[in-house]
Structure 1
């Protein structure tokens, strides 16, 4: 367990750098382009690429290929893994090239699909088509990058894939800061930065793949049964693993029919919501899926012995650990809730100051700050459910169980479609954020209710309740501390925000340590190497 937590923490530290750069990137975009028709056009055009990137790296290919790759690596069958990789790359290359050609030719159709509120021939529609065509080569690249990430994760290499988003953010930042005045329209520089970033990401991963022997073309076969099985599960895997991203896409489509800026408000709120997810849920799920898949592949799971019946578990005994998948999952989800619940409460307490200090300058006016802050509050309410869903999906997919996540995804997406239409008429763009949160909760409840392989829901629920109790105390503490700085200058407010967050986080950790919270005790033992 110590090995598992430390790997997740290592990925989280790299993700922190990526998210900081992502915040800088979004702050620069907000400063230069604000939240209006132009920025909406970019976010509309970028949304399908961002969606495909996330569901490919975090959802479809990972969930479909990692269990199969991990089984080959666990059994030391690298030649079979290379054969799988080359066969998958062959089909992905054909599909990617075809998709790029069709995307460029049918760009107006895709913009109509993703932005039904943009009339054909309007400036917003024309600009979105231009940006979509510029970024279309990135679609081909993202398939290759996602496949390589799956191979590296399955082989135990988590650092190289975790660093690739850093390169994308650096490319977009460089393009916006240095070259924004050299293009007409200026916003086109962001689309060029996205495509350039994809090329850099791909080049960064190729050496690691070569080191694993994935380019052994002697192993290539036209049809690989494992790859065929993985591709068959792509559709259901997408629904199960990417329901949250699909719901955000639906919300963005609805927002395109509202006043200018609505799409941007949702986008900036989503970026802030992704911050705790990237630091807590994604690293745990990233490490959990290949570890569980390898354990299942080496027959460590004993169907005749339900995991819930194991009375005691030593977090530091890896022999005992590998005998029970559900105990590893149980520890992972408890750790995620222990960390993500206070992060959620902290963002709710400081939503407007965070938005103001990150984006509130240049073309991003106070109206945009208020609207983004409100969207953030409603969207962050469901982040715990999104985090829990990611871990449940990883657990099911590691055991090649696609049906349950698929059904949960269908329920979540269906709820979102209905709730978006209901809330947008009553609350506007903030109602779309609330719809996404409630839909995430609905999907999580369905997954949690199944409790596969004896997962002990009572222990997870108790952990969540403890975290909520301490987080409520932290909420009032943070709000009181921020009140001391709220009327000061912008620089003093920035310092006050950092101090408020630091004291809130420190108070939460100290409080959980003084009350002997099991998750805090486990973290302390692991990182202090106590026995």
Structure 2
């Protein structure tokens, strides 16, 4: 069933009343739909990064731009993709399950008014206090006046994006709750299109290309918000913002959101900490980490976020109707999907780090030394991909039950572990080989495993999640398929090892062959050991 075929709530066609069950899609189909939309966005994002590196290079303006755009993005993930949506969706789902459409509309209106007022205040603080943010997040640039001034300007320009994209996130959370996953999934495409256009068409009209890119981010935020509004109107939930802090739903969301502000964004805090420390390392360190992070984000964003986005409304509804066994089955399905995707993605990124980076970024202002340094941190970050994806699907297991405290407590432990590990790992790497950025990436990956393990253990101890009995057999099957893929990739690299010497077209063709053959071998091996598509079909 497509989005257009889903019924729209209206006075004639109201939202489900108490006891009624919303129509559901196959989890697999919904995840593939969201993943495919997100894949388009991520591929465009990769093209965007290739263009940025070609225009800005690694170091200097690129370092400043990376830090500047991470600040509103960090807050965006707190408000839009993180704490807010994780607190809002369970409350909205409960209201939809047990109340009328009028009650849902009232909740949406008052949440929009309250959230909008907070975002406006934070945005004003960000614009006015840009110098302070520059000192906090770019402390290492304080003794480089030109770079620090550029960073301050870029923060001031891009900060309003926080408000725009967070309101877009509110719209997306509403649409996701009504199983309209495609529109929120396609929206991030616009940011990439605007930035690519700015880099290629208008960058030369600015004193520094970074300014053009910063303004394109704001323009994309405006367009993304306007794009989603007609679809909210279709389901009769276009917000008419009203500020009412006393509304029970608003109060409940605030109670749930306060701890979730921290708990859901632990990995983002760790990545932001990496960027802050990177400003104190060698010139280009922030750029090297950025490129590594972007490549790890590709499978994480396409599959991890897609699965989490799809299961969150379903888990919330199952929690509201106290369907414990189905709740556990849905989590088990999500974890199986993560293992299927994350293990080969992790191994492929580690093995193909240099070929991928040389193919995508070795042009324009980029030096071969920058590629090599980026490959080291990519391998380190990639070690944590499995954990990053697990966190994406385990956290909703808590938030869907409106348990915000447990992920916060676990998140604090993970951040402390990260902070403790950093000097132990980073300092020797800096002193011996000048590879401090690799230590930053590695400790962030290891902290993610601490986080994922504790989240998993908590769900098991509370008996919210009970794994299916066939997991030992599944691990053997997945392990065999991954070994087959690794053998093929290593064989290719043994014979094809001159990536820095080949031209762009030859690199692209060879990498395409490696990836296609590796993926085909993985699929064939899965089939050979008995894994079938029907194993991943589930309904909520």
TM-score > 0.5, shorter chain as reference: yes
Instruction: Specify every segment of 5 or more residues in structure 1 that has no aligned partner in the other structure, as ranges.
Output: 308-323, 527-531
> Quick check: 1:474 aligned with 2:485?
yes
Alignment match of 2:332 (pick from 310, 330, 333): 330
Alignment match of 1:92 (pick from 109, 115, 135): 115
Alignment match of 2:257 (pick from 229, 234, 243): 234
In the alignment, the residues of structure 1 paired with residue 83 and residue 162 of structure 2 have an alpha-carbon distance, to the nearest angstrom, of: 15
Given that residues 111 and 241 in structure 2 are in contact (C-alpha distance below 8 angstroms), is that contact kept between their aligned partners in structure 1? Answer: no
In the alignment, the residues of structure 1 paired with residue 129 and residue 273 of structure 2 have an alpha-carbon distance, to the nearest angstrom, of: 20
> Quick check: 1:160 aligned with 2:168?
no
Which residue does the alignment assign to 2:12? none
Q: Deviations over 1:204-229 (max 9, x none)?
A: 11111122222465998553111111
Which residue does the alignment assign to 2:80? 57
Which residue does the alignment assign to 2:37? 14
Q: 1:2 to 1:459 in 2, by over 3 A?
A: farther
Given that residues 113 and 241 in structure 2 are in contact (C-alpha distance below 8 angstroms), is that contact kept between their aligned partners in structure 1? Answer: no
In the alignment, the residues of structure 2 paired with residue 384 and residue 282 of structure 1 have an alpha-carbon distance, to the nearest angstrom, of: 13
Q: 1:461 to 1:47 in 2, by over 3 A?
A: farther
Given that residues 114 and 243 in structure 2 are in contact (C-alpha distance below 8 angstroms), is that contact kept between their aligned partners in structure 1? Answer: no
In the alignment, the residues of structure 1 paired with residue 509 and residue 82 of structure 2 have an alpha-carbon distance, to the nearest angstrom, of: 38
CA RMSD of superposed structures (Å): 2.1
Given that residues 83 and 221 in structure 1 are in contact (C-alpha distance below 8 angstroms), is that contact kept between their aligned partners in structure 2? Answer: no
Alignment match of 2:141 (pick from 118, 125, 141): 118
Which residue does the alignment assign to 2:440? 432
In the alignment, the residues of structure 2 paired with residue 51 and residue 431 of structure 1 have an alpha-carbon distance, to the nearest angstrom, of: 22
In the alignment, the residues of structure 1 paired with residue 357 and residue 129 of structure 2 have an alpha-carbon distance, to the nearest angstrom, of: 36
Alignment match of 2:408 (pick from 403, 406, 409): 406
Given that residues 82 and 261 in structure 2 are in contact (C-alpha distance below 8 angstroms), is that contact kept between their aligned partners in structure 1? Answer: yes
Given that residues 87 and 260 in structure 2 are in contact (C-alpha distance below 8 angstroms), is that contact kept between their aligned partners in structure 1? Answer: yes
Following superposition, the deviation at residue 289 of structure 1 comes to: 0.4
Alignment match of 2:55 (pick from 23, 32, 39): 32
In the alignment, the residues of structure 2 paired with residue 140 and residue 60 of structure 1 have an alpha-carbon distance, to the nearest angstrom, of: 15
> Which is worse superposed, 472-481 or 148-157?
472-481
Q: Where in structure 2 are the equivalents of 1:234-253 lying within 5 Å?
A: 234-253=257-276
Q: Tell me the secondary structure at the aligned position of residue 132 of structure 2.
A: helix
In the alignment, the residues of structure 2 paired with residue 86 and residue 218 of structure 1 have an alpha-carbon distance, to the nearest angstrom, of: 5
Following superposition, the deviation at residue 53 of structure 1 comes to: 2.2
Given that residues 37 and 186 in structure 2 are in contact (C-alpha distance below 8 angstroms), is that contact kept between their aligned partners in structure 1? Answer: yes
| Misfit runs of 4+, over 4 Å | 216-222, 457-462
> Quick check: 1:447 aligned with 2:470?
no
Q: TM-score, length-normalised on structure 1? A: 0.91
In the alignment, the residues of structure 2 paired with residue 42 and residue 461 of structure 1 have an alpha-carbon distance, to the nearest angstrom, of: 46
Q: 1:361 to 1:225 in 2, by over 3 A?
A: same
In the alignment, the residues of structure 2 paired with residue 216 and residue 498 of structure 1 have an alpha-carbon distance, to the nearest angstrom, of: 46
Which residue does the alignment assign to 1:316? none
Which residue does the alignment assign to 1:420? 422
> Which is worse superposed, 211-220 or 464-473?
211-220
Q: Where in structure 2 are the equivalents of 1:37-436 lying within 5 Å?
A: 37-75=60-98, 77-119=100-142, 122-215=145-238, 217=240, 223-297=246-320, 299-302=321-324, 307=325, 324-427=326-429, 428-436=436-444
Which residue does the alignment assign to 2:4? none
Instruction: Specify every segment of 5 or more residues in structure 2 that has no aligned partner in the other structure, as ranges.
Output: 1-23, 430-435
Following superposition, the deviation at residue 408 of structure 1 comes to: 1.6
Q: Where in structure 2 are the equivalents of 1:494-509 lying within 5 Å?
A: 494-509=508-523
Given that residues 37 and 185 in structure 2 are in contact (C-alpha distance below 8 angstroms), is that contact kept between their aligned partners in structure 1? Answer: yes
Q: Tell me the secondary structure at the aligned position of residue 456 of structure 1.
A: coil
Given that residues 385 and 441 in structure 1 are in contact (C-alpha distance below 8 angstroms), is that contact kept between their aligned partners in structure 2? Answer: yes
In the alignment, the residues of structure 2 paired with residue 254 and residue 131 of structure 1 have an alpha-carbon distance, to the nearest angstrom, of: 19
Q: Deviations over 1:250-270 (max 9, x none)?
A: 111111100111001111110
Q: TM-score, length-normalised on structure 2? A: 0.89
Q: 1:76 to 1:374 in 2, by over 3 A?
A: same
Number of aligned residue pairs? 504
Which residue does the alignment assign to 2:16? none
In the alignment, the residues of structure 2 paired with residue 326 and residue 495 of structure 1 have an alpha-carbon distance, to the nearest angstrom, of: 44
Following superposition, the deviation at residue 23 of structure 1 comes to: 0.3
Given that residues 327 and 464 in structure 2 are in contact (C-alpha distance below 8 angstroms), is that contact kept between their aligned partners in structure 1? Answer: no
In the alignment, the residues of structure 2 paired with residue 105 and residue 136 of structure 1 have an alpha-carbon distance, to the nearest angstrom, of: 10
Following superposition, the deviation at residue 199 of structure 1 comes to: 0.5
In the alignment, the residues of structure 1 paired with residue 294 and residue 330 of structure 2 have an alpha-carbon distance, to the nearest angstrom, of: 30
In the alignment, the residues of structure 1 paired with residue 387 and residue 119 of structure 2 have an alpha-carbon distance, to the nearest angstrom, of: 33
